[in-house]
Chain A
Amino acid sequence: KAGVTQTPRYLIKTRGQQVTLSCSPISGHRSVSWYQQTPGQGLQFLFEYFSETQRNKGNFPGRFSGRQFSNSRSEMNVSTLELGDSALYLCASSLGAGEIKGGYTFGSGTRLTVV
C-alpha cells in the first residue's frame, strides 16, 4: 500500500510570504499529525487532526494552521514566514482511533527554506 505522501519535497520562500504544505496519509488512516524538525529544537509537535477536527495542538504561534479534508488529506499553512520557520516539516499518519498500536507512519517531509 502507498505510504504517507508529502508535497512538495523542497520549497524556498521569502520572508513575509505564506506557504501551504500537503500530506496524504496511508489509506484508512484518519489521524494526521504534523511536526517541525530543526537542528536546534529537534522534533516539535505542531498539531493533530482526526476526522477533519483538530484534536491536539502544540505550542506554536497562530501563524501556523492546518486543516483536514473528508478524505483525511491534510494541509498545513504558515503565514508571514520568518527565517526561523526554515525546517523539515514532517507529517505522520495513524489509524487514530484509540491507542496507537503500531506507531506513526511518517512521510519523507517537506524541506522549507525561508530566505
Chain B
Amino acid sequence: SQQGEEDPQALSIQEGENATMNCSYKTSINNLQWYRQNSGRGLVHLILIRSNEREKHSGRLRVTLDTSKKSSSLLITASRAADTASYFCATASIYNFNKFYFGSGTKLNVKP
C-alpha cells in the first residue's frame, strides 16, 4: 500500500510554539500534499510539494520532502488556537496522479 503514515498521532502544544508533523510513504510519488480538517468537516488543501522539490513555504507553513527517505514534514510556526485540527498528508503516485492516498492524520491541539 502507498498509504502515508503520520507521526505523531496526536500533538498538544501551547499557543506560540512550533508544531512539527511527519509523514512517511512507501512508493514513488509525483507529489505530496498536506490537508487540514476541522472537527469532521471537509479537508482544506494547505500545500503541495512536487517530487523534485525539497522545501516549500506558505505563510506560517513549511513543508520539506525527502524522497530518498520517503518522508515529509509539516512545520507550523507560532501556532495559534485556530490551528487546532487534524492534519493529513496525501500522496499521488508517479503512475497515477489522479488517485490520492491519505495518511492516518495527526491531531493537533493548540492550547491558548
Contact of B42 among A90, A96, A103 (CB under 8 A): A90
A100 to B97, CA, bound (A): 7
**Contact across chains for B31 and A99 when beta carbons are under 8 A apart:** yes
| Cβ-closest chain A residue relative to B102 | A43
Contact of B44 among A31, A33, A94, A106 (CB under 8 A): A106
Contact of A33 among B31, B48, B100, B103 (CB under 8 A): B100
The A91-107 residues at the B interface (CB cut-off 8 A) are: 92, 94, 96, 99-107
- Taken residue by residue from 66 to 102, chain B's Cβ proximity to chain A (1 for < 8 Å, 0 otherwise) reads as 0000000000000000000000100010001111111
Could you tell me which A residues sit within 8 Å of B by CB distance? 4, 31, 33, 35, 42-43, 45, 48, 50, 55-56, 88, 90, 92, 94, 96, 99-109, 111
**Contact across chains for B104 and A42 when beta carbons are under 8 A apart:** yes
Interface SS, B side: strand
The distance from the CB of B46 to the nearest CB of chain A, in whole angstroms, is 8
Name 23 interchain pairs, CB-CB below 8 A, sorted by A: A33-B99, A42-B102, A45-B99, A45-B100, A48-B99, A56-B96, A56-B99, A88-B40, A90-B42, A94-B98, A96-B98, A99-B30, A99-B31, A99-B97, A100-B31, A100-B98, A102-B45, A102-B48, A103-B35, A103-B45, A104-B35, A106-B42, A108-B41
Residues of A within 8 A of B30 (CB): 99
Could you tell me which B residues sit within 8 Å of A by CB distance? 30-31, 33, 35, 40-45, 48, 88, 92, 96-105
Top 8 nearest A-B pairs (CB, nearest first) are A103-B45, A106-B42, A43-B102, A56-B99, A106-B43, A108-B42, A42-B104, A103-B33
Residues of B within 8 A of A102 (CB): 45, 48
